[in-house]
Amino acid sequence: MSVVTRWIEYDISAVGSATDGGNGGKGTRGYSIGTSDPGDTISIGPTTNRLHLSLDGGSSDYITLYSGSNLDPRFVARDITEKLHNTGTTEAWTQSICTWENTTSSGGGNRFVIRSGSLGSSSSVTVGSGTNDARAVLGFNTKSEFGGSASPDGKASYTFSGDISISGTYYGFLDDVYKIVITNDHDATRGIGTPSKGGSNTYAGTLTTGGLFNHTSDLTYTIQIDATNGTTMGAGTGNVPLMKWSSSTDSGDWIELLYPNYWYKVGKYGLMVKFTDAVFNSASPAWTIPCYKPDYAQGTNASAPVGTAQYTYSSERGDDNISGVISTVSGSYTALGSRGLSIKFNPTSGSDNLGAGDCFYVICSAPKPSNYNISNLNYGNVTVSTESSVKTVAFEIQSGATQLSTVKFGLQNHGTFSHHNAGNSDTYFRFGTVGPGNVSNGYEWYPNITAADIDSDTPPTYLYATDDNLPVVATADDSKSVGNSPLRGLMSDPIWLNIRVGASETGANSSINYRLYFDYV
Amino acid sequence: MTRYWEVQLKDGTIIREGQMEWREVPKRAIIRLSLFFDGRHWDLIGKEAYFVKYRASMAPGIQESFRLERRTIGFYEGAEKICYHIDEITGKFSMEVIDNSAD
């Protein structure tokens, strides 16, 4: 019950960015895994709040982490990411990402992984010793570090000598990484076949596959479930089901399924799965999932020129291509995800073909928060009959819960304003939202929202919901729904707010109260 | 404290809210989950998995404004979560079934 929360403010002009990793989208990222088990709650204090890192072999620097007791590891991972973005100026730092994930290297387990924002052979992450060292509490007192590679993820070398370019604005609210693979999906969408449930598996929820399989051979993954410790997710470490995967060429150790609707990696070649919140039983096999290598770039051709070759994509957060492969267009941009990006393939010559399995990455960083732990929203001086500035905030749980749901937002008190819903030159309390929990036309975020965007009950295409005038309410049921996502912490979607002061209002320094309702486990 | 959840484990151990975080309770060992609320109580017995859930509210940025709105105990039936809600302010009881069979 001892849940601790915080509010974050964003500048309305904040916007994310998408890059090609400084290497034309080619190669892989270097990374560091803290291989010690830090548990599923992280306590950080004044003597354990600094991480000393070097990215891409550059000079090392400290980041100072958010302090607190029993912090959710997804919250900590995003905090690390945001601190990295604010520390360095090179792409390695500004596009770096820390995640809390089930690692697929030896030892397995749910661990922190820090990846450089660059691609290629110079990409690396080194976590070193320092003062007030956070390594032990994060599990980095033992670590595995791997440099990036110039080779493609999934096969030995690129057929394509050229590179990619990215166009557009990243309208995601959280960090993400797109994986693009040349294929015509001859066997299955994104190379991932239909899961088959084992005969003794009584799980009645839904397993959803995600990701993009890219390897030099077809593989069938077998997933085992061990429910000895617990039958349901969200129940805390030591009390949740375990999952293990194997194929003919790779296998993983038991990992805990800590959270529902959270992506877990299966194998080393791009398959992910997530589960709805339902009861597991011990089963082997619990599922088998066939995965197929990219056979062809187009038709029955292993390689094809730009303009003929086809590709598909997926993202770490599940923005996957579900509508069939996309044909490349020579000299033009084509779709990449649903968050506003496009991709172009740049051959070095007319004979520079794209080959099946050629793999590219696009690394996306989120809009940066402007203030943490805000305690009020100040609209400043607002003249009657005008709109105030628009404020953007998001809510999150930092500790004390594993799941957040049913987020609602309402106006609790309109303060000293006396012309709210009075029918006489009224004051309006405006509201809008969109985000990973409630995506609108691919948008999770939109920069420079103005009062005109939220002064109607009909939202523009880039917002999920708006209300031109919040009524005063006293319950969650009467408040406005706001989405939430578990993938980068227990966080609500962003909320845009402003007021329009009615023509007849008088006085100053009116305090109004909003109230947010939320369910948590 | 007259409002709390309580579990009984297979070995007879009784754990009450405040003595242990729910996340630390050994879920597989639970044989009873109860919710006590101002002299009333509800018992869940013989279920395959149990959960505890809360609804809270707060004013943006003001931790002191945190207020519990609802307490919930419940159990799973396959992909369904059967919720017993008790409104913290009115004491009204309600039930809800959440179906997680689909994504």
The pLDDT value recorded for residue A425 is 87
Is there a contact between B78 and A276 if contact means CB atoms under 8 Å apart?
no
Instruction: Say whether residue A333 is in contact with chain B using an 8 A CB cutoff.
Output: no
Is there a contact between B79 and A205 if contact means CB atoms under 8 Å apart?
yes
Strand partners, B95: B84
Rounded to whole angstroms, the Cα distance separating A14 from A271 reads: 32
Report the first-to-last Cα separation within chain A, whole angstroms: 8
Q: Are A174 and A366 in contact (CB under 8 A)?
A: yes
CB within 8 Å of B90: residues ≥ 6 apart? none
pLDDT tens digits, residue range B15-61?
A: 999 999 999 999 999 999 999 999 999 999 999 999 999 999 999 88
Report, in angstroms and rounded to the nearest whole number, the Rg of chain B calculated over CA atoms. Answer: 14
Q: pLDDT-derived band of residue B1, with 50, 70 and 90 as boundaries?
A: low
Distance from CA of A352 to the nearest CA of B (A): 42
Strand partners, A313: A180
Is there a contact between A373 and B81 if contact means CB atoms under 8 Å apart?
no
Rounded to whole angstroms, the Cα distance separating B3 from B73 reads: 12
Q: Cα angle vertex B34, ends B31, B38, to 5°?
A: 165
Looking at chain A from residue 212 to 251, which residues have their Cβ under 8 Å from any Cβ of chain B?
228-232, 234-236, 238-239
Report the relative pairing of strands A125-128 and A42-44 from DSSP bridges: unpaired
Strand partners, A466: A432
- pLDDT (tens, 9 = 90+) of chain A, 521 residues, equals 579 999 999 999 999 999 999 999 999 999 999 999 999 999 999 999 999 999 999 999 999 999 999 999 999 999 999 999 999 899 999 999 999 999 877 667 899 999 999 999 999 999 999 999 999 999 999 999 999 999 999 999 999 999 999 999 999 999 999 999 999 999 999 999 999 999 999 999 999 999 999 999 999 999 999 999 999 999 999 999 999 999 999 999 999 999 999 999 999 999 999 999 999 999 999 999 999 999 999 999 999 999 999 999 999 999 999 999 999 999 999 999 999 999 999 999 999 999 999 999 999 999 999 999 998 888 999 999 999 999 999 999 999 999 999 999 999 999 999 999 988 889 999 999 999 999 999 999 999 999 999 999 999 999 999 999 999 999 999 999 999 998 888 999 999 999 999 998 988 888 899 999 999 99
Please list every residue in chain B whose beta carbon sits closer than 8 Å to the beta carbon of residue A514. 59-60
Distance from CA of B67 to the nearest CA of A (A): 9
Please list every residue in chain A whose beta carbon sits closer than 8 Å to the beta carbon of residue B88. none
pTM: 0.96
Q: Are B74 and B82 in contact (CB under 8 A)?
A: yes
Q: What whole-number percentage of chain B has pLDDT above 70? A: 99
Cα separations in angstroms, A513 against A409, A417, A485, A501: 11, 12, 25, 16
Indicate the residue of A1, A514, A516 with minimum beta-carbon distance to B54. Answer: A1
CB within 8 Å of A384: residues ≥ 6 apart? A501, A502, A503, A504, A505
Interface confidence, given as ipTM, is: 0.96
Looking at chain B from residue 30 to 89, which residues have their Cβ under 8 Å from any Cβ of chain A?
48-49, 51-63, 65-66, 68-69, 76-79, 81
Q: Cα angle vertex A263, ends A163, A123, to 5°?
A: 35
pLDDT tens digits, residue range A459-478?
A: 999 999 999 999 999 999 99
Is there a contact between B60 and A514 if contact means CB atoms under 8 Å apart?
yes
